[in-house]
Structure 1
């Protein structure tokens, strides 16, 4: 049991937390322990007293029934881990959090306007898959029992849904559209259009997620890397890269004793 818990806590923090929320919510709802009415989102729920301000988040916590209780958390963990650990698009946790917030907001807006869905996890899974596969373009990726080009995996997911549950395809398409919009505004337009990143990560998220400079651990002390503009601690004299005080460095080039 301790080994399982160790493996759980060693998993990437954001992927672990999101997957756990999906598993707990889905099992609780489908077993009748939790009411579905606590988690869905519709615009009118924000006008209630008290307003359901938690619903735009919890509407992403419910998986599809039966086999979906296993597959949906698996896909979320798989793609979230790729983005959190291996993607150059999200070097900081706040970048990935901003991605989830912006793409999730787009998915909600598209579904409120076009589909009328009140739970959105399937759309977010498709968005995560699309974004993760952009880093693997030109490589091969596995989809169930098949090997396909990585960039085609999201479309394979839509095709599988079309065969098993056609009603879920519009929700997945909203996730595809939202992920592509994010990719266009943050990567394609800046790189190929010469414009700025239109969805930069706001500074307040960095302040919320900033980790301590020194982390005490059971097996030693870890130091967080300094930001590029962060001064080094403990340096009071001299300039970067030198052990001499400024007063000594300002005396000129100097001469060797006994020289000409």
Structure 2
């Protein structure tokens, strides 16, 4: 059990926590332990008193029933962890969070006006699959028991839904459109259109995610130097900084002693 716990806590935190929330919520709702009415999203819920401000987030926490209780958290973790670890387009945790916020917002708007769905996890999974495999063109990927070109994985998911769960198809298409829209505004338009990145990660999100500089401890207070500031203790400063008048060769001779000292 300790090995399982260690592996769990070593997993990428955003993917781990998101997949855990989906698994717990799905088990609770599909087995009658939690009411579905706590989690779905409807814009009118935001205008009630008290407003359901949690619903835009919890509407992505419910998987499909039966086998979907296992498969949806698995695919969510698989694709989200690939964005969170080692993807050059998302070098920081806040970049992944901002991607989820933007794509999730696009999905909710598209579903409200075009599909009428109130739970959105399948759309987000397909959007993640699309974004994950965009930078893998020319490579092969495994989809269930088949090996296909990596960029075709999201379209294979659409074909499976068409054959097995046609009702999911409009929802997944909304996820594909949302991922395309994010890719256009954040990458294609700046790189090929010469315009600005319209979905740049905001600074306030970076401040929320960054480790605080001041850490209270039982035996005192530790202050982390901010990036690019401060100098390691014991480092020498050059004469160009106006710090020392000694020749360069003298600075590497050690601590030295006073004349007549021990």
Give the TM-score band, short-chain normalised.
Answer: 0.7 to 0.9
> What is the match of residue 254 of structure 2?
none
**TM-superposed deviation, 1:195:** 1.1
Indicate the SS of the match to 2:147.
strand
Asked if 1:107 corresponds to 2:107, the answer is yes
> What is the match of residue 138 of structure 1?
138
Instruction: Provide structure 2 residue ranges, at least 5 long, that are not aligned to the other structure.
Output: 216-223, 248-262
Q: TM-score, normalised by structure 2?
A: 0.85
1:61-100 equivalences in 2 (<5 Å): 61-100=61-100
> What is the match of residue 255 of structure 1?
none
Q: How many residues align?
A: 239
> What is the match of residue 149 of structure 1?
149
> What is the match of residue 231 of structure 1?
229
Q: Cα RMSD over matched residues?
A: 2.4
Q: Distance in 2 between matches of 1:2 and 1:22?
A: 23
**TM-superposed deviation, 1:138:** 1.3
Instruction: Provide structure 1 residue ranges, at least 5 long, that are not aligned to the other structure.
Output: 216-223, 252-260
Q: Distance in 2 between matches of 1:11 and 1:231?
A: 31
Are the structure 2 counterparts of residues 110 and 246 from structure 1 closer, same or farther at C-alpha, using a change threshold of 3 Å?
same
> What is the match of residue 41 of structure 1?
41
Deviations 1:140-197 (A, max 9, x none): 1011111111100000000000000101000000100001100011111111111111
Asked if 1:246 corresponds to 2:242, the answer is yes
1:18-37 equivalences in 2 (<5 Å): 18-37=18-37
> What is the match of residue 2 of structure 1?
2
**TM-superposed deviation, 1:232:** 3.1
Q: Distance in 1 between matches of 2:97 and 2:240?
A: 44
Q: Distance in 1 between matches of 2:85 and 2:230?
A: 27
Q: Distance in 2 between matches of 1:193 and 1:83?
A: 25
Q: Distance in 1 between matches of 2:204 and 2:97?
A: 12
